[in-house]
Amino acid sequence: MMLQDPSTKYRPFEAVDLPDRQWPAQRITHPPVWCSVDMRDGNQALIDPMDLERKRRFFDLLVKTGFKQIEVGFPSASQIDFDYVRELIEDDAIPDDVTIQVLTQARPHLIERTFEALEGVKRAIVHVYNATDPVFRRVVFGVDKAECIKIATDATTQIKDMMAARPNTDWTFQYSPELFTSTELDFAVDIVDAVSEVYAPTPAKPMIVNLPATVEIATPNHYADQIEWFCRHVARRDSLVVSVHPHNDRGTGVAAAELALMAGADRVEGTLFGNGERTGNVDIVTLAMNMYTQGVHPQLDFSNITPLMREVEHCNQLPVHPRHPYVGDLVFTAFSGSHQDAIKKGMAERRDNPDSLWGVPYLPIDPLDVGRSYEAVIRVNSQSGKGGVSYLLEQEHGIELPRRLSIEFSQVVQTVAERTGREITSQMIYRTFEDEYLTSRDPYALINHRLSSDDDSPRVRLDAQIDEQGERRHVTGEGNGPLAAFIKALAAHGLDVEIIDYHEHSRGQGADAEAVAYVEVRVEQTPVFGVGVDESITSASMKAVLGALNRHWRTQQAPAPNVTAETLGEA
């Protein structure tokens, strides 16, 4: 049960004393060194850790994406991790510009085994850690500060010696004070200083100091303060690559990494889509794409993000959430009416200015940049409006509804959405459109027509055959154009129709091109729309008028829209 007063159980974090902090005014202008820890921190958090096949697929994916540093495992911890490192080395599967990294605890036998796994590698980062946080010192290790430092420096000495004994490998050393964020800052600096004093890095041959938010315990600004404070106080800063390793326990791993970069970090360890212990490691895809949307290329390639996500899902055997930034199945989709309207207008403006800076409402990034299409951008359900309905009809069926008709038709679609309670696909929208405007032949249908005119007259004469409830009728009339002549012919037949509005356009191209005509007419004082589609524009407009008459006739019988059971999926 939640406590009335959680302060009796939970401690707030203590602010860092850094009144002249500089990071809030900084900007991220270049990408950090990226290191994927998918195959180590990600893997150790999986229900079923990756087998060799999945690990190899993940490695190839990371290389293809552009990672130059990849933590491939904890070879002293499991035979699979050991064999996997051996396989990469023996198969010569590590590209020349990629460095593998392996993790070990600061314990002599585990370090020995780590070097066994790395025998013959061209380049590698050996990453050693020990927990430095006061609770761990007391509870897990039972050591004081000096003894804690000795665990780290002894391991550093051993690793340095083992590296020196294997001069054919290009080695990099990495040290992590585990649980950095809950370690006293001055002690974190003391232990790193002691380690770097032993290892003796230089600006030409730096060591990596990795500062993990092993458990995220505070707001991102606090992590940034810790990183800036650390960078200002640590010795040999010019010989250190300062790396961050945020976790996401409070859901702010990405923000913490961004602020840490502003505070002086050079490198980020994280995973694709944020898999990792508990709530995960920081998500490198989101971090990288956040940079991209600020105009900074992250030097990682997410141009085809959906197959990449599927591959990661396969390797991790974990799904990526449909709302996951930049990649989830629904993140480029709007269902709600006002969003759809703004997106439709933004897209239209973009079509006219394709080289302008991106500015489509509600879309922080162009879906095309990550290999997604505009197809799924607008989807329709009962939360949608006319913008979305007419967008889908236009994009996928070449139907460009005039504004007033789009208002009327969106009400028809709304009826369908509310009756089904489900998403209405573009196929359902088109079928609804056909049901409502195109298919009815009752009571009138056009059979054929002929136009004629005298050479010296602008007027045309129209002879048409129409089907009236199974009876063939001949109607004839004259006017300034075919539509006017048809209205006259109907009037002569006793059908009074007044044209209020008319639109037409073609759809399709070449031999398959068709004309689409839209009329708004007044019949017995009532305005009603009709739509006609035909190869000939004259036939399309005549069909539109007859369609309007049929709809008028139908609403006299039953005022509800003409939605068939088939469209509703009830057939």
Ligand X SMILES: CC(C)C(=O)C(=O)O
Ligand Y SMILES: CC(=O)SCCNC(=O)CCNC(=O)[C@H](O)C(C)(C)COP(=O)(O)OP(=O)(O)OC[C@H]1O[C@@H](n2cnc3c(N)ncnc32)[C@H](O)[C@@H]1OP(=O)(O)O
The smaller minimum CB distance to ligand Y, of residues 130 and 432, is found at 130
Which one among 36, 99, 130, 275 touches ligand Y, defined by CB under 6 A? 130
# of chain residues touching ligand X (CB under 6 A): 10
| Residue 299 binds ligand Y (CB under 6 A) | no
Specify the residue for token string 């998403």. 423
The smaller minimum CB distance to ligand Y, of residues 48 and 170, is found at 48
| Residue 173 binds ligand X (CB under 6 A) | no
Specify the residue for token string 């790396």. 243
Which one among 151, 475, 517, 521 touches ligand Y, defined by CB under 6 A? 151
Query: ∠ CA(358), CA(359), CA(365), 5° rounding?
Result: 60
- Residue 169 interacting entry, from ligand X, ligand Y, none, C-beta within 5 to 8 Å by type: none
Residues 470-488 as b/e (b if ≥16 CB within 10 A, e otherwise) read eeeeebbbbbeebbbbbbb
The smaller minimum CB distance to ligand X, of residues 195 and 399, is found at 195
The reply, when asked if residue 321 is annotated as ligand binding, is no
In the complex, minimum distance from the CB of residue 323 to ligand Y, in angstroms, rounded to a whole number: 27
In the complex, minimum distance from the CB of residue 41 to ligand X, in angstroms, rounded to a whole number: 5
The smaller minimum CB distance to ligand Y, of residues 152 and 523, is found at 152
Residue 241's DSSP bridge partners are 208
What is the DSSP code (8-state) at residue 182? G
Q: 201 and 241 in contact (C-beta within 8 Å)?
A: no
Site for ligand X in 26-45 (CB under 6 A): 41
Q: Which two tokens stand for residue 396?
A: 């996928």
| Residue 136 binds ligand X (CB under 6 A) | no
| Residue 44 binds ligand Y (CB under 6 A) | yes
Q: 282 and 274 in contact (C-beta within 8 Å)?
A: yes
In the complex, minimum distance from the CB of residue 77 to ligand Y, in angstroms, rounded to a whole number: 3
# of chain residues touching ligand Y (CB under 6 A): 16
Q: 546 and 554 in contact (C-beta within 8 Å)?
A: no
| Residue 538 binds ligand X (CB under 6 A) | no
Residue 343, CA distances (Å) to 346, 405, 413 in order: 5, 20, 19
The 3-state DSSP class for residue 407 equals helix
| Residue 176 binds ligand X (CB under 6 A) | yes
Which one among 52, 135, 140, 200 touches ligand Y, defined by CB under 6 A? 140
In the complex, minimum distance from the CB of residue 51 to ligand X, in angstroms, rounded to a whole number: 22
In the complex, minimum distance from the CB of residue 274 to ligand Y, in angstroms, rounded to a whole number: 15
Site for ligand X in 443-502 (CB under 6 A): none
Which one among 132, 156, 214, 248 touches ligand X, defined by CB under 6 A? 214
Query: Site map for ligand Y, 82-121, x if CB under 6 A?
Result: -----------------------xxx--------------
Which one among 54, 137, 245, 379 touches ligand X, defined by CB under 6 A? 245
The smaller minimum CB distance to ligand Y, of residues 211 and 428, is found at 211
Site for ligand Y in 167-196 (CB under 6 A): 178
Cα–Cα dist 58/505, whole Å: 51
* Nearest alpha-carbon partner for 191 in 206, 204, 178, 202: 178
The smaller minimum CB distance to ligand X, of residues 101 and 406, is found at 101
The smaller minimum CB distance to ligand X, of residues 178 and 258, is found at 178
The reply, when asked if residue 281 is annotated as ligand binding, is yes
- Residue 245 interacting entry, from ligand X, ligand Y, none, C-beta within 5 to 8 Å by type: ligand X
User: Cis omega before residue 561 (within 30°)?
Assistant: no
| Residue 141 binds ligand Y (CB under 6 A) | yes
Residue 460's DSSP bridge partners are 479
What is the DSSP code (8-state) at residue 327? T
Residue 49, CA distances (Å) to 53, 270, 419 in order: 11, 17, 46
Q: 273 and 237 in contact (C-beta within 8 Å)?
A: no
Cα–Cα dist 89/166, whole Å: 15
Candidate segments 208-216, 382-390, 397-405, 420-428, binder of ligand X by CB under 6 A: 208-216
In the complex, minimum distance from the CB of residue 69 to ligand X, in angstroms, rounded to a whole number: 14
The smaller minimum CB distance to ligand X, of residues 103 and 185, is found at 103
DSSP letters for 256-323: HHHHHHHTT--EEEEBGGG-SSTT-B-BHHHHHHHHHTTT---SS--TTHHHHHHHHHHHHT-PPPTT
Helix spans in 66-200 (H):
79-90, 108-118, 134-136, 145-164, 185-199
The smaller minimum CB distance to ligand X, of residues 212 and 388, is found at 212
Q: Is 277 exposed, middle or buried (0-12, 13-18, 19+ CB in 10 A)?
A: middle
Q: Can you state the percent helix, strand and coil of the chain, rounding each to 5?
A: 45, 20, 35
Cβ atoms within 10 Å, residue 156: 22
Candidate segments 71-79, 167-175, 221-229, 503-511, binder of ligand Y by CB under 6 A: 71-79
What is the DSSP code (8-state) at residue 424? B
Q: Which two tokens stand for residue 151?
A: 């665990």
Which one among 156, 214, 271, 562 touches ligand Y, defined by CB under 6 A? 214
| Residue 216 binds ligand Y (CB under 6 A) | no
> Footprint of ligand Y on this chain (CB under 6 A)?
41, 44, 74, 77-78, 105-107, 129-130, 140-141, 151, 178, 214, 277
Annotated binding site: 41, 245, 247, 281
Residue numbers at the binding site for ligand X (CB under 6 A): 41, 103, 129, 176, 178, 210, 212, 214, 245, 247
Query: From the annotation, which residues make up the binding site for Mg(2+)?
Result: 41, 245, 247, 281
